[in-house]
Amino acid sequence: MCANQGCSIPVNVEFDEVFPREYLYQGMDEKYIRFIDINGMIPKLRLYFHLSSNNDVALKCGLRHSKQVVYRINCKDMIEQCYNFYHSVNGVWLTKSVFDGISFKKLFYCKG
């Protein structure tokens, strides 16, 4: 599965570029908010940054954290700035990063 999503395994994963709908979502621990506010969303040790197609999936992805936040990313902004998107066979959306200047918004917190 990791090779399918371009995790940290350096394999040549062949993805077709696809255009997502207007918004994608990311659920994560709130401890990363300050980092994201400064640096944007980056894949760190992974090859791609992973995004979800809807808020419910992002919420489930973030449930492994005690205090989570869900971000909504404006894909229209990203496409206009020539970002590439890929869609993994298991439904995960992938991109290299989401930097400042791209519209992303914290939707809500879910306290554990």
Q: Are 2 and 46 in contact (CB under 8 A)?
A: no
Beta bridge partners of 71: 26, 106
User: What token pair was written down for 63?
Assistant: 């449930």
Pair of tokens at residue 111: 């306290």
Q: Is the dihedral of CA 76, 78, 82, 87 positive or negative?
A: negative
Taking the whole predicted model, whether its pTM rises above 0.75 is answered as yes
What is the C-alpha to C-alpha distance for residues 86 and 17, in angstroms, rounded to an integer?
A: 5
pLDDT tens digits in sequence order for the chain, 112 residues long: 444 554 445 555 667 789 998 999 988 888 888 888 888 888 777 788 889 998 888 887 767 666 788 889 899 888 888 888 999 888 889 888 887 666 777 776 665 5
